[in-house]
Amino acid sequence: MSRRHIYLLSLHSVRTLKVHVKIKIICGSRVTMVDKYIIVIDDIWENKSWDETIELALVENNCGGRIIITTRNSQVATEISDEVYKMQPLSYENSKRLFCTRIFGDEVKFPDNLPDDVPNKILQKCDGIPLAIITMASLLVGKPREKWSDVFTSIGFGHKANKQVESTSKILSYSYYDMPYYLRTCLLYLSLFPEDYYIQKDSLIWMWIAEGFIQGKQGIRLFEIGEQYFSDLVNRSMVQAIESQSDSTVQSCHLHDMVLDLIRSISYEENFVNILDNDEGTLFPQSSGARRLALHKNTMDHSAHGNMVDMPQVRSFIAISSAFATNFCVS
């Protein structure tokens, strides 16, 4: 192959894009016109996203193109292709390697002064799930080693049918409540954004400042403190940093789906945010106590205006929609 064309098609939320928009994105890249190509489509939830849109946009050119699709729904996988690779949990050795690298910065053995059963029990409960291992390790960083057993006991792992999901959820929940209140507030604010959305770091920090979430310190600018908050959330593995390809600086971030599920659940309970998303059938709540509103839409549709109610307690409003020239936020 004389040249290689690699296109990164960031279809952050395939199921919320209109059919013609998806086809336009894929065809506009002209990937079917090159000798060989590889397309990676992440996190498809239903097979019609493939049948009704993406497959129709591709042309059989017998040039060796390849398409990789990821999904958490096994039925979707089998309906789209006969060649299904099921991701397996990490082995114990790889789990231990990941755990130690996050805590100690190297693939070392467990410290001799720890009871043998403590790290082994931790890894057993993480069940080979990378998110659970990294989050648990991030939670233990900086804590006295004799306290590790107390942390493990405090999480109180359940015994539901899906032990992997249940254990990971409990680790995330414990990690959330282990944070200082100002970090919890900053993290909750991210529940305003859609799933798989890339959040610009600098814009996010200015939003935190506008909301009054940043605690001022003499001689330090609020933005600098906000950058430290951001770094703390990344170090705790609650936020995933995205580095620029040009200079490796962190320009944006996004959330793992399970982290987003957690903070949205907490946000709704605390009346922290309310979201309007007509594409998913979510409308403004019939409540006058909403403090923050978010609009998630892909087309300009005025049909939802009748669902709006008087909300005198609203503090800020953020709109994220392909119907607007740019996303905007009013606080």
Query: Could you tell me how far CA 37 lies from the centroid of its own chain?
Result: 27
- The helix, strand and coil proportions of the chain, stated in percent and rounded to the nearest 5, come to 45, 10, 40
This prediction's pTM:
0.66
Give the pLDDT score at 161. Answer: 45
Helices and strands in the chain: count of H runs, count of E runs: 13, 9
One-letter amino acid for residue 199 of the chain:
I
Q: Return the CATH class of domain 181-258.
A: mainly alpha
Pair 252, 168: CB distance under 8 Å:
no
Model pLDDT, residue 5 = 38
Whole-angstrom Cα distance, residue 49 to residue 290? 34
Q: For each successive 10 residues of the chain (331 residues), what is the average pLDDT?
A: 40 45 52 64 73 64 76 78 83 88 71 65 82 86 80 64 67 89 95 88 95 92 96 90 81 88 88 72 53 70 52 78 50 52
Tell me the C-alpha distance between 228 and 187, whole Å: 13
Residues with Cβ within 8 Å of 284's Cβ and at least 6 positions away in sequence, in order, are 274, 276, 290, 293, 304, 307, 308, 309, 311
Query: Which pLDDT score, from 0 to 100, does residue 196 have?
Result: 80
* pLDDT score, position 189: 95
Is-contact 71 103, C-beta < 8 A? no
Structural domain boundaries in the chain: 14-80, 92-178, 181-258, 273-331
